[in-house]
Chains A and B, each alone.
Chain A
Amino acid sequence: MYLIFQRLWQVNWAEQWQYRANMLMYLLYWLVSPIMYLAVWTSIANANGSVNGFTANDFITYYMTLLICDQVTSNIVIHIFGYKIQDGTLSGELVKPIHPMLTNALINNIAFKVLMILGFLPIWVILFFLFKPDFSSVALSGVLLSIPAMILGFFVSYMISAAITALAFWTTRVYSIHEFYFALILLFSGQFVPLPLMPKLVQDIAQYLPFQLFMYYPIQLILGKLSTEQIIQGFVSGVIWLGISTVLFNWVWKNGVKRYSAVGA
Chain B
Amino acid sequence: MSPTITVQQLSKTYQVPEREGGFGAAVRSFFKRKYKDVKAVQQVDFKIEQGEVVGFLGPNGAGKTTTLKMLSGLLHPTGGKAEVLGFTPWELRPDYLRSMTLVMGQRNRLSWDIPAADSFLLNQAIYRIPDDEYKKTYKELDELLELEPLMKKPVRNLSLGERMKCEIAAGLLHRPKVLFLDEPTIGLDITGQVRIREFLREYNKRTGATILLTSHYMADVTALCERIIIIHHGNLKYDGGISDLSKKIAPFKLIGMMLTEPDSHDLSKYGEPVQNEEDAAKKYIQVKAEDVTRVTSKLLADLPIHDITITDPPIEDVIEQAFNQ
Physical contact A–B (CB less than 8 Å): no
B→A interface (CB under 8 Å)? none
A→B interface (CB under 8 Å)? none
